[in-house]
Structure 1
Amino acid sequence: MSAVAVPAAAAALTGLRVLDLSGAMGNYAGKLFGDMGADVLLVEPPGGSELRREPPFIDDRAGIERSLEFAYQNSSKRGICLDLDTASGQRLLRELAAGADLVIETAPPGWMAARGIGYDDLARLRPQIVVASITPFGQTGPYAQMEATDLIGLAMGGLLWMGGYQDAAPTQAHGNQAFKCAAMYGAVAAMLAVTDAELTGQGQHVDISLQESVTLALENAAQTYDLEGVVRKRPLSDQRFAGYGLFKCKDGYIYLGSRGIGNSPAWSRSLQWFKDEGMEGVERLFGAEWSDLGYLKTDEAREVFGELFMRWSMQHGKDWLYSEGQKRLIPLAPVSTPADLLENPQLQARGVFVDFVHPLLKQAARMPGAPYVLSQTPWHMQRRAPLLGEHTAEVLGEIGVSNEEMSRLFSAGVAA
């Protein structure tokens, strides 16, 4: 994103109205629409979304307005509070939906319909409306009513089996990746349905399954079992063969891919590099056995290479190793920490990190923006995440709720 402020009118989805009734499984989908210019209304229960209670918290102190997870996933949204278990709350939601293009929700199948705010109910008011339902296992099937955390999504989708190393239990990926996966697929499917509704005037119910979204990340693991009867395994915790894998260096780790299947030219380039730099013991890597892939897979080869390489790599920083490796056309990359990413010259040049503002922060922090650039309709974070109920009065006023009725709704706890 350019550092220059971009007017909201230039955004790709300006004019689109989205009601985001979702929780942790779907808030990211709403953010994607909001950051592209849609008017996204986050509809929370009176006590607030469960995501407001998710760490990390500002200053490591829990609080309804202190969750960084909530603040990130709900940027560019306005926020209102409605009690959808009340008749008045349901009526207001229907009035809001009558002017909306898309509803994103993550309630259990049937929960919305039982309150008169399901897809069929809303479509009678606005035929072109799209409702995107993101749930653990979809709207149908024997698991439809089961709940799931991000970890359960990874496990039931099969991706957890592939995470980590063979000599340890399966490892969960950081950052609620299963939820993000479902939210991204949900956003794409919802956008397709909204596009179709604009062309045909007819909306639809989009059913997104967390389990199915995660399963797509298995790539060819399912085919491998189906065709060959072989269950793909997690990699070994050390190198698969000498000259390949993660290695320590002076200030962290680097990934080295000098050896691949067959005779990789990167291996000869690596040997020349090590020789030019005066690596101690490098002559041990020039024997004929180092051209034999079978030998490279042995413990002896991995141990010899690891000992020689890390004795040398521990004298150098990962940035230097990366720079020199690139000059010599050797597959080598630093393992970046979050701090490294903020200082990364490529990401800085592309403007990937943008200001993150929050009422409880004295100065702006940084957060990831968008991993794409649209030349004519640039990405632009419209506003910080809303405080609980921050825009309730504003939004209710937009649908014609009088001040007198608004006071009654607030007093009754229907709105907050």
Structure 2
Amino acid sequence: MQPQLGPLAGIRVLDLSGGAEQYCGKLFAQLGADVLLVEPLAGSSQRREAPFIDGSAHPETSLSFAYFNQGKRGIALDLDSGAGQDVLLKLAGGADLVIESERPGLMTERGLDAKSLSQTNPSLVVTSITPFGQEGPYAQFEGGDLVTLAFGGLLSLGGYPEMAPTAPYGNQAILSAAQFAAVASMMALWEVEGQSEPRTGQHIDVSVQESVAMALENAVQFVELEGSIRKRNGGEQRQAGTGVFPCGDGMIYLMAGGVASNKFWKTTANWLVETGATGAEELLNDRWFDHAFLQTAEAKQLFAGIFLPYAATRTKAELYEEGQRRRIPICPVSTTADLLQNRQLTHRQFFEETVHPHSGRSFFVPGAPYRLSQSPWTLGRPAPQLGEHTHEVLAELGLSNEQQAVLLREGVIA
């Protein structure tokens, strides 16, 4: 029996992106598209990103590169050379989607911008992921993850009030843009598919700054409607009984106050009284059912004085199980180690085992956060080693061994 093809089988993607933007192409690869990673001769910048397997820095040992590029094929090509540009134009002629993350204007200088590529392939979709978009006063600014988090407004909300802003781990700004880029690209491909001949593609302009600004929830509306700027509240109770609290083996999140606070507050207070928390009887006083009182520093300090000594004697699992039994909103703050042991993720086989292409060591990586009932998601082949499929891909273009040898001698391919 032939293996079932993924839902994007038959779609061809050229991934020219260099950093965490490569996550966009990964999403296509693992749904069955043929994604070709086009790297410079020295390799993608992502190859130099830690952590490295066994702690040894090498172009083939970056774990983030291995993750972002699983399921893809790969070639090494000098796009600053005329011959390299000719090869890419030929590849684009048979592609459906090109993903790139160069500074605005560079692809135009190379003759490989969306307008130029569309002359070779009018139905081609070209997606550009840049810090600030293709135009505007910041378009030529350089900006990594930290810069775009700051310019997008999210950095100001991260961390503790008495400290400098804190960025979330792991290129979250760029990854959010990569996800938006994948969705937009898929919509554009769908639109092309529905056209009658001749089909016309389009250029998708994705700004990392704008992708970050999408994550601010209602912070902008607070400014617009109330004239107030939301502040960092990490490590604080938003109101008494609601926030992150330390316990015997880590941290838990509890929401005793807040939405439906009267119901949750009484249940939480009874829990602490029944299980012997020192001073818990105070929490049944009438003033604790006044939402305005829960907002005060006095209430937050009193609650912490009762709950923290109690939580310190219990584990995350114990607090979670007891809170769930009593229908109280509480959950453990999971570490990455906890996730590998999580019963729900284990049941759904979320983490998939793969083999590192260079070291041969096996390790687990996150799978897909969705299930398609009729069309499978697959982890796919290991990430390509530098230039691993160059000969294969050029042969598909019709280039002979002799022609490829010339390109190799001239430093066009690797």
Q: CA separation in 2, counterparts of 1:309 and 1:262?
A: 20
1:169 lines up with 2:194 in the alignment: no
Unaligned runs of 5+ in 2: none
Highest RCO, 1 vs 2 (Cα 8 Å, sep ≥ 6) = 1
Structure 1 stretch 172-181 or stretch 54-63: which is displaced more?
A: 54-63
2:166 maps to amino acid = T
**Quick check: 2:357–2:384 contact (8 Å CA) kept in 1?**
no
In 1, Cα distance between the equivalents of 2:254 and 2:142? 41
Structure 1 CA distance for aligned equivalents of residues 361 and 373 of structure 2? 30
In the aligned structure 1, how far is the partner of 2:255 from the partner of 2:364? Answer: 32
Q: 1:343 aligns with which of 333, 341, 344?
A: 341
**Does the CA contact (< 8 Å) of 2:235 and 2:243 recur in 1?**
no
Contact 1:342–1:353 (8 Å) recurs in 2: yes
User: Which residue is equivalent to 1:110?
Assistant: 105
Which whole-Å CA distance do the structure 2 matches of 1:125 and 1:284 have between them? 75
Aligned to 1:228: 226
Query: Does the 8 Å contact 1:45/1:84 carry over to 2?
Result: yes
Equivalent position to 1:100, from 89, 92, 95: 95
Q: Report deviation, 1:295.
A: 3.0
**What's the offset of the Cα at 1:346?**
0.4
The answer on 1:317 being equivalent to 2:342 is no
Among 3, 11, 16, which residue is 2:6 paired with? 11
Quick one: which of 264, 269, 272 aligns to 2:270?
A: 272
Q: Following TM superposition, by how much is the alpha carbon of 1:9 offset from its aligned partner in structure 2, in angstroms?
A: 4.0
Alignment of 1:217-296 (within 5 A): 217-235=215-233, 237-261=235-259, 263-296=261-294
For residues 331 and 374 of structure 1, what CA distance do their matches in structure 2 show? 30
Listed as ranges, the matches of 1:32-51 within 5 Å are 32-51=27-46
Match of 1:196 in 2: 191
Q: Do the aligned partners of 2:80 and 2:110 also contact (CA within 8 Å) in 1?
A: yes
What CA distance in whole angstroms lies between the structure 2 residues aligned with 1:172 and 1:27? 21
Per the alignment, residue 404 of structure 1 pairs with: 402
Preserved CA contact (<8 Å) 1:167 1:237: no
Give the letter for the 2:139 counterpart: A
CA contact (8 A) 1:196 1:202 kept: no
Range with bigger deviation, 61-70 or 337-346: 61-70
In 2, distance between residues paired with 1:270 and 1:196?
52
How far apart are residue 304 of structure 1 and its match? 2.4
Change (3 A) 1:72 1:305: same
Instruction: Pick which of 337-346 and 59-68 moved more.
Output: 59-68
Query: Normalising by structure 2, what TM-score?
Result: 0.96
Distance 1:271 1:226 in 2: 38
- Secondary structure at the aligned position of 2:175 is classed as helix
8 A contact 2:355–2:382 mirrored in 1: yes
Q: CA deviation at 1:274?
A: 1.6
Q: In structure 1, the residue corresponding to 2:13 is in which secondary structure?
A: strand
Matching of residues 331-410 of structure 1 within 5 Å? 331-410=329-408
Question: 2: distance between equivalents of 1:80 and 1:88?
Answer: 15
**Runs of 4 or more consecutive aligned structure 1 residues displaced over 6 Å after TM superposition:** none
* Structure 1 partner of 2:59: 64
User: 1:3 is matched with which residue?
Assistant: none
What letter is aligned with 2:117? L
Do residues 142 (structure 1) and 156 (structure 2) align?
A: no
Distance in 2 between the 1:216 and 1:8 partners?
A: 39
294-303 or 180-189: bigger deviation = 294-303
Q: Rate the CA distance shift 1:112–1:375 in 2: closer, same or farther, 3 A.
A: same
Cα-Cα RMSD: 1.6
Aligned mates of 1:360, 1:394 — CA distance in 2: 20
3-state secondary structure, aligned to 2:194: helix
Q: Distance in 2 between matches of 1:290 and 1:411?
A: 78
Q: CA deviation at 1:12?
A: 1.0
CA, structure 1 residues 236+384, in 2 after alignment: closer, same or farther (shift >3 Å)?
closer
Structure 1: distance between partners of 2:156 and 2:107:
34
SS at structure 2 position matched to 1:264: helix
8 Å CA contact 2:240–2:299 kept in 1: the answer is yes
> Using the alignment, how far apart are the partners of 2:365 and 2:155 within structure 1?
27
Is it true that 1:413 corresponds to 2:408 in the alignment? no
- For residues 172 and 234 of structure 2, the distance between their equivalents in structure 1, rounded to whole angstroms, comes to 23
Displacement of 1:280 in angstroms is 2.5
- Residue type of the alignment partner of 1:113: T
* Structure 2: distance between partners of 1:225 and 1:368: 37
| Contact 1:18 1:101 (8 Å CA) reproduced | yes
Instruction: Measure the CA separation in 2 of the matches of 1:362 and 1:38.
Output: 25
C-alpha distance in 1 between matches for 2:84 and 2:29: 24
Question: TM (normalized to structure 1)?
Answer: 0.95
TM-superposed deviation, 1:262: 6.0
Q: How many Å apart are 1:261 and its aligned residue?
A: 4.9
Q: Which moved more, 1:222-231 or 1:159-168?
A: 222-231
2:51–2:63 CA contact under 8 A, matched in 1: yes
Q: Which structure 1 residue ranges, 5 or more long, are not aligned? A: 1-5
Deviation at 1:197, TM superposition (A): 1.2
SS of structure 1 residue aligned to 2:353: strand
C-alpha distance in 2, partners of 1:160/1:236?
12
Instruction: Give yes or no for contact 2:127–2:185 (8 Å, CA) kept in 1.
Output: yes
* Alpha-carbon offset, residue 362 of structure 1: 4.7
The answer to whether the 8 Å contact 2:131/2:148 transfers is yes
CA distance in 2 between partners of 1:415 and 1:296 (Å)? 66
Query: What is the number of residues matched between the two proteins?
Result: 411
The CA distance in 1 between the partners of 2:259 and 2:343, in whole Å, is 32
- Equivalent residue in structure 2 for 1:86, among 59, 81, 88: 81
Question: Aligned to 2:179, which of 176, 184, 189?
Answer: 184
SS in 2 for 1:40: strand
